[in-house]
Structure 1
Amino acid sequence: MSSPRCGVQDAWGQRVSRHRRKKRYAHTGEKWHKRHLTYRIMNGPRNLSPSQVHVAVKTAFQLWSNVSGLIFQELQHGPADIRLAFFEGEHNDGTGNAFDGPGGTLAHAFFPFRGEAHFDMSERWTLNGLKGHNLFLVTAHEIGHTLGLVHSPVRHALMSPYYKKMGSNTLLSWDDITAVQQLYGKPPGDSVQPLGGRALRWTMQDWQIFQDSKGGSLTPHYCQGYFDAITTDEDGTVLVFQGSRFWTVSNGSVSAPLPLQMRWPQLSLAIEAAAFSPLDSKLYFFKGRRIWRYSRSDLDPGFPMKSSDLGLPNHPDCAFFYHPLGHMVLFRGSRYYVLNLESLSVEPYYPRALRDWKGLPRGLNGALTRPDGKLYFFKEQQYWRFDPEKVRITAAGRWTESLPWVGCHTTPSLQGNDIL
């Protein structure tokens, strides 16, 4: 029985064995003559919800924008550059493009400028790849065709005629990346962020679990007591980050886990700190030696920047906007730094000793300011509430039990240990 493959003909004129190697013809020469492309999901398969299809398709487009100069925008109505639709059998593409039922050809697409990708409705589509065909991977492959990429003879390339499985390695090979960059250039700042299969597989599995458990009491993974960072966005929604995923929490209601780079293109996975600034309505992310700044979902020009260029340390523990100072504060080990967001430089006479913040431990993994002005600091399963007016800790406890706005509050009777 033949392996499922793409219905697009191979560039060398015939379908070839997976084990046969040919010279690489990276692309057709046809390409879009713009960098901002729109797409629209026309319909979806029977066994996946619209939200599942949305996350699979958006993440598939993100896979390509992370390594190229392209920007993709989803449209709900009207004409779009790229349209994705599900059909059965003959669907007015000619008999040669008719779908053949379960197995065999899963999908096909057209090069610019037709901008269409068609998927076999009769297949069993999934997000985790355990029973059926991974919609994310197949969509990512077909998007490559709509951008002008042909099939690759490189065995492990995403653009191989035969669909690859979701392994732990980076999904785009050097061949895929070179091909798309020949057509559309590199991303801003040459910040290439290829996505790994393991992280994306976790994300897709989380979405599958979320859909299968609707109506149940399943709590987010971070409620087990650990997350990478926490902050709010411009709308006051709490954002919780863990690995390749993030959750939104609003009025105690938690979203499904979402791919980090679906909302913030080119952002590195497993960030170390995040903070929202009400001064400029921007989100700041920190990891390793770099800083990212976003206006909603758009990476600001000139970013990511090196932490050292701003006088900041590498690998910060946490970051937050501190209203009494009107600046951003970062903790690192036994010291803290105050960052002037207008000059993007550390304020004079900093860093200072962390003991200025009496009662706070080292190694915090998150901090944010609530609407009442109180600061909340997190370390593993513990939290500390800091009152800027009293300049001291006023409450502490287990955040999974005591803070319903974090999204894990399953026992309303449990409260934090209020000090004053």
Structure 2
Amino acid sequence: MAARVSLLLRALPLLLWGGLDAQLSERRGQELRREAEAFLEKYGYLSEQVPKDLTAARFGNAIREFQRVSQLPISGVLDPATLRQMTRPRCGVADTDGQAAWTKRVSALFAGRRAKMRRKKRFAKQGSKWYKQHLSYRLVNWPQHLPEPAVRGAVRAAFQLWSNVSALEFWEAPATVPADIRLTFFQGDHNDGLGNAFDGPGGALAHAFLPRRGEAHFDRDERWSLSRRRRGRNLFVVLAHEIGHTLGLRHSPAPRALMAPYYKRLGRDALLSWDDVLAVQGLYGKPQGGSVAIQLPGKLFTDFEAWDPHRPQGRRPEIQGPKYCHSSFDAITVGSHFWEVAADGNVSEPRPLQERWAGLPPHIEAAAVSLDSGDFYFFKGSRCWRFRGPKPVWGSPQLCRAGGLPRHPDAALFFPPLGRLILFKGARYYVLARDGLQVEPYYPRGLKDWGGVPEEVSGALPRPDGSVIFFRDDHYWRLDQARLQATASGRWAAELPWMGCWHANSGGALF
């Protein structure tokens, strides 16, 4: 299910089409058809044993079914739009039976026979559902570049999404107790069959098994993200989708369904569609006690770094501390707040950014203070702000893109050896002219100049000992300014006491 889509299929959407035979050789056309046949077989649109003499009618019918599920114009022709859809990242579970189950739900809905639909044999097939309503789960591991507490919070929210609209209840099992559902990140072939081998970024991002195997597997090499400000695949959406499979839900062809084969985008609409709710209630019933199903809009889950759950996200909720200690931060701020940390690690209460610097927007992307003038610089999108103390130096935000500065910078730093501000963006850095918003000549340059500093850092701070600390997610890298080489790395909350992430009474690290 997760085998890599061939380079041929990936490249074909770039071709200009005027009909298959008009622009491709006969041999190329045959290769294209074989690739499409393999895709359709993998995801359940053709039988497992595809005959060599597959008729044009059968092939066209399979294409039509795929186009119907993918919400494409139904033509039965392997056109550019259909090819592009086949190359998009998707769930590795086959689309088998999704259309039939969806048709039954729609018929029952408009006929007013929901109760009768629940009694249908389709919802009582052996292994198609759990025969209990209290299920345990375990997060076996997580991507190395994401902080564990944030991933655990996303997992808990993904399970809560389904319990809000059904009679199911979930709890995280301790390591010593067997769990009903297990979520694991793997690389490549993981003894799950060659068809399920993960292929790195793109392709199939995850797959899951129906009850009662209770497993969901995720591609560990994918660039996952839990932040709307970072590039990458949204892990929360994929978690919620695959958990749906572990509960017994098939793929849905309904518009905007979470259980569609291609993962839903987060937006203002409800995260679960009407079809998602009908499907899970058909298996497990409505929320207990007759309570109303709680539908949540996707915009609540666009950024787990700024998400405020009802319960603590960490594994040890008895330990308190600043919010930024329980997640990653951006520009040494979280959301619309900042903290002041003294040299001894004592932390102030969170304070709104606009309380200190009036006029700043929320979610600042990069910030730095000049060690020459003491001025504060803030960056977001293509705009920048400069403050001297609490007062703005400029009458209005400046369009810093005009000087060649990157849009949406990852981090900013005043670098003492140069006496300049430096912006970091992806795999490059920009040196700014003194007291100006112009990029110096011969920049940007690659991060290889900063030996060992990773791409997409979220913050950087010069330290009194002459080092520079770079941050990304829950990790840090210590750079020797003189050698421009990273000399140490680790987890900042546990290893850097001056970050203020130590419990005042116990002296224990939060992580």
Kindly indicate which of the two structures has a greater share of residues assigned to helix. 2
**TM-score (norm: length of structure 2):** 0.40
Q: TM-score, normalised by structure 1?
A: 0.48
**Which entry has the higher C-alpha Rg, 1 or 2?**
2
